[in-house]
Structure 1
Amino acid sequence: MSSPVATAVSAAAPYNRAKAVKEFEETKVGVKGLVDSGIKAIPPIFVHPPKTLAELKRGFESESAPEIPTVDLAAVQGSRAAVVERVRQAASTVGFFQVINHGVPEQVLRRTLAAVKAFHEQPAEDRVPVYRREMGKGVSYISNVDLFQSKAASWRDTIRIRMGPTAVDPREIPEMCREEVVEWNKEVVRVSSVLFELLSEGLGLGAERFREMGLGEGRGMVGHYYPFCPQPDLTVGLNSHTDPGALTVLLQDHIGGLQVETPDGWIHVKPQPQALVINIGDFLQIISNEAYKSAHHRVLANHCNEARVSVAVFLNPSDREKLFGPLPELTSTEKPALYRNFTFHEFMTRFFKKELDGKSLTNFFRQ
């Protein structure tokens, strides 16, 4: 007897992509549902163009490949100026760095990843009630935020939770991850507050400048689940893109697969025990007048039998109607503003209008 999921996404002749995407969406069980159905080949909606697949093979593979910088936050107690400079260098070149000794207990890191994994691995009928694509909901479970805009889907599912400025009612968060999500949000607020101070100082501004702008008060959490892919050479876990917001705090497990684009090519962001991955978003590149750089990054399809899990918190300004643009302190006759002013509402509306692949908002708002 064939699986209803497999039946719903089976390719018909002639192949109708729009119809296949709609049928996959209507199953409401995501990529995990496909894996559970026992498929041996990925459905056509997940197969990426040859050009994309060829590009994926050009990432560094050797152990001697470059790595993104690591910042020891405990060193602030010894030489704050040295840590500020290290953060500034990472933010102005690669746009990615890992932080260690950030003060988050190891058990909190483990419990957060385990709780997100537990949500995705519960019986399909328990995930379905949360499956929704509406952006206004406080909690939603989806597969591919750009499913209906993309040329090819990615092999991943996601739970999204709004944590600020007005947090979702905790009772709406699935019980198996509720306590862990609330605790993780508190830790991210603390760590990001330190990072915003260091980043602000790195621009020659006061430590409180970004906090005064409300950066970090808008927080969206996503728990990505990348199950085993039977044909990882034909698809991706997450398309190349830059994050739209100010800053992203990412907790990834031990499996790996995240890559970042650098002047030297694509490099792996190797998992470090208990480290957090930090990256600059388009918004911070714009208000810093390109002193800081957002970077394209992607996730390879998971070829391991064990699912990959990551938890990202996107930090944004809280006021969606306020005008933002390059900070006046960072512009001059010699270096005029490179971007026009905009509201954050306009900024995010623009982001969700097209597919993720190759997406960056910086070009759209450039003067």
Structure 2
Amino acid sequence: MAAAGATLEYDRMKEVKEFDDSRIGVKGLVDSGLSTIPRFFVHPPDRLSTLSPSSFLSVDIPVISLAGINSSRRAEIVNEIRAAAGICGFFQVVNHGVSQKILGETTSAIKSFHEQPVEMKKQYYGRQERGSVGYATNLDLFRSKAANWGHTLQVWTGPNPPELDQIPAICRKEVMAWDENVKRLAETVMELLCEGLGVTPSKLKELKCLESRAMVGHYYPYCPQADLTMGFPPHTDPGVLTVLLQNEIGGLQVKHGEKWVEVKPLPGALVINIGDFLQILSNNEYMSGQHRVLANRVREPRISIAVLINVDKTENSDSYGPLEELLSPEKPALYRKFTIEEFENKFFTKEIADKPLIDFFKL
């Protein structure tokens, strides 16, 4: 493979295919002792120019305690979540009801999967983005402008979870327990978000916004040339919302204006971010925050486990758009109606870091 900075002409797709066929992932490259990253991992200058500290903003995203959610403090929590969701679409929650034991076991299990010998992981390798279980470096590897320094285990846990023996044994129990806990938390957060919009608390659940869930367990190993690539490029999540668990290694950033803000790892906290679908349903009352992951500069791997929560499209021919309850002559719809099939097809045929998904549905 050509090294970063090489001047010789090279066949990019040939090298990408050779790397993909090897199934060793970026961890395999690191374990081989390389000191320069393959050229197809080098990102365009416009992305790399934003990696300097001058592009960073030293503020904290909101941290919201869910303690007292069924008490007189509920209205205060609703207001805090509404404000965070409306400004940058990101916030962290504490006192959320998921035990530290579950958080620790989930993180350890995903780390253990990625650190298995290559031969153990190869059987799961593939980039079936809509499949039940898959493991790959960059799900959009063949349609992206540059590869990212990380790899992912993906398990679709709803609405139709895979057979248990399809999930790697090393993390099977932990993945299913994590999904159950996230589902309960997400239902609570969705109720709070609905109350913030002034609609029925169960509105999102009634629209089947809780049933389709994909767990993505990301592993970002040390990168020898972190200034030339990214762990994950700037993007927004397509679904309703995302619940994220991250270990103590930082790197997640959310865009705030023209600057980037670090989402600092907090022990016991979970990150919540709004997805494109909910921005559309809320008619821009809530914002889908653009975010990215920097390439890892430290020797310890960064681990993040996200559950992407989407609308169930199984036998779903309904059309979606801004909620009628939010529309008025003073606040007309900003997006057209669409089906879930159209929404998903648009997402799965574009580069993840391409133009935001919501742009395809604006009026």
TM-score, normalised via structure 2 length: 0.95
Q: How does 1:44-55 map to 2 (within 5 A)?
A: 44-55=39-50
Post-superposition shift, 1:94?
1.3
Quote the residue 2:339 is aligned against. 343
2:352 to 339, 352, 356: 356
Structure 2: give runs of 5+ residues left out of the alignment: none
For 2:182 and 2:338, how far apart are their aligned partners in 1?
27
- CA deviations on 1:313-366 (whole Å, 9 max, x unpaired) are 001111353211111101111111110111112111111212122441111100
Structure 1: give runs of 5+ residues left out of the alignment: 1-5
Quote the residue 1:275 is aligned against. 269
User: Does residue 69 of structure 2 align to residue 69 of structure 1?
Assistant: no
Post-superposition shift, 1:29?
1.8
| Paired residue secondary structure (2:303) | strand
Post-superposition shift, 1:214?
1.1
| Paired residue secondary structure (1:160) | strand
Post-superposition shift, 1:30?
1.1
2:302 to 280, 304, 308: 308
Which residue identity lines up with residue 38 of structure 1 in the other structure? G
Quote the residue 2:18 is aligned against. 23
For 1:59 and 1:166, how far apart are their aligned partners in 2?
46
**8 Å CA contact 1:59, 1:268 repeated in 2:** no
2:318 to 310, 313, 322: 322
Change (3 A) 1:24 1:321: farther
For 1:234 and 1:105, how far apart are their aligned partners in 2?
38
For 1:29 and 1:185, how far apart are their aligned partners in 2?
27
- CA deviations on 1:297-325 (whole Å, 9 max, x unpaired) are 00000001001000000011113532111
Identity of aligned residues (%): 50
Which residue identity lines up with residue 224 of structure 2 in the other structure? P
User: Does residue 184 of structure 2 align to residue 181 of structure 1?
Assistant: no
Post-superposition shift, 1:37?
1.3
Q: Which stretch shifts more, 295-304 or 357-366?
A: 357-366
Q: How does 1:132-281 map to 2 (within 5 A)?
A: 132-263=126-257, 265-281=259-275
Which residue identity lines up with residue 67 of structure 1 in the other structure? D
Q: How does 1:94-105 map to 2 (within 5 A)?
A: 94-105=88-99
Post-superposition shift, 1:265?
1.6
- CA deviations on 1:164-203 (whole Å, 9 max, x unpaired) are 0111111110000000001000100110010000000000
Which residue identity lines up with residue 319 of structure 2 in the other structure? L
Post-superposition shift, 1:135?
3.1
Which residue identity lines up with residue 339 of structure 1 in the other structure? Y
For 1:216 and 1:359, how far apart are their aligned partners in 2?
26
For 2:65 and 2:329, how far apart are their aligned partners in 1?
37
Which residue identity lines up with residue 104 of structure 2 in the other structure? R
Which residue identity lines up with residue 322 of structure 2 in the other structure? P
Structure 1 stretches of at least 4 aligned residues deviating more than 4 Å after TM superposition = 6-9, 58-62
The number of residue pairs the alignment matches comes to 360
| Paired residue secondary structure (2:109) | helix
TM-score, normalised via structure 1 length: 0.94
**8 Å CA contact 2:56, 2:259 repeated in 1:** no
For 1:231 and 1:21, how far apart are their aligned partners in 2?
18
Q: How does 1:76-115 map to 2 (within 5 A)?
A: 76=69, 77-115=71-109
